[in-house]
Amino acid sequence: MHIHLSDSLTGGQETRVYEAELGFDLFDDGVNRYPVVRKEPVRLRITKTGEKRLLFEAEVSFSLSVPCDRCLEPVTVPLSYEVSREADFKEGAEEEEAYLAEGYTLDVDALVRDELFMHMPAKVLCREDCKGICNRCGANLNQGDCGCDRTEPDPRMAAIRDIFRDANQ
């Protein structure tokens, strides 16, 4: 959703409050794509802090479907966070927030997505004791044992195994 900022930039020191619907149904982080399974309107407060300076404050709450890091089953991950950004619209000001507010229009989705990178959990598990998948056949071990021999021999013992194998031949 886009919000026109000209009203906020003119006039006195005032705050405007908006509710904006998220415009994306899929979050793409450049590597993975996560569907949005629940969204709430973004509560946005825009405050004029000086001449052609605005403070954007937002409360964001939605859920993504993210695969479990061990078994790859989809997990609904609720995300709630607050955003606080200041932007300077004076001529000659740095344009570090240019992608956020092009001209005098704020892209609420860009504001939410930018902060989402910092709030994504580092590890997502379907449950704390997730057993993952079999490294041989790919079966989900949470649903039962697949019967594969998953013992990994200690590589430090390879030389001794070779001696016993050669002696038995």
- pLDDT, tens only, 26-70: 999 888 999 999 999 999 999 988 887 888 999 999 999 999 999
Residues 69, 93 within the same domain: yes
Residues 58, 103 within the same domain: yes
In a domain, 128, yes or no: no
Residues 98, 147 within the same domain: no
Residues 72, 138 within the same domain: no
Do residues 27 and 60 lie in contact, with contact meaning Cβ atoms separated by under 8 Å?
A: no
Residues 111, 146 within the same domain: no
Residues 108, 169 within the same domain: no
Residue 83 CA to residue 45 CA, distance in Å, equals 10
User: How many domains does the chain contain in total?
Assistant: 2
Residues 53, 96 within the same domain: yes
Do residues 77 and 66 lie in contact, with contact meaning Cβ atoms separated by under 8 Å?
A: yes
Residues 142, 112 within the same domain: no
- Cβ count within 10 A of residue 108: 23
Residue 107 CA to residue 86 CA, distance in Å, equals 14
Largest CA distance in the chain: 92
In a domain, 47, yes or no: yes
Strand partners, 86: 55
In a domain, 43, yes or no: yes
How many helices and strands in the chain, by DSSP H and E?
3, 9
pLDDT at 141: 94
Residues 47, 81 within the same domain: yes
Q: What is the pTM of this model?
A: 0.74
For the segment 77-126, what is each residue's pLDDT rounded down to a tens digit?
999 999 998 887 776 555 555 556 666 788 889 889 888 988 999 999 99
Single out the residue of 135, 139, 138, 140 nearest to residue 150, CA to CA: 135
In a domain, 111, yes or no: yes
Domain range enclosing 113:
2-119
Do residues 130 and 141 lie in contact, with contact meaning Cβ atoms separated by under 8 Å?
A: no
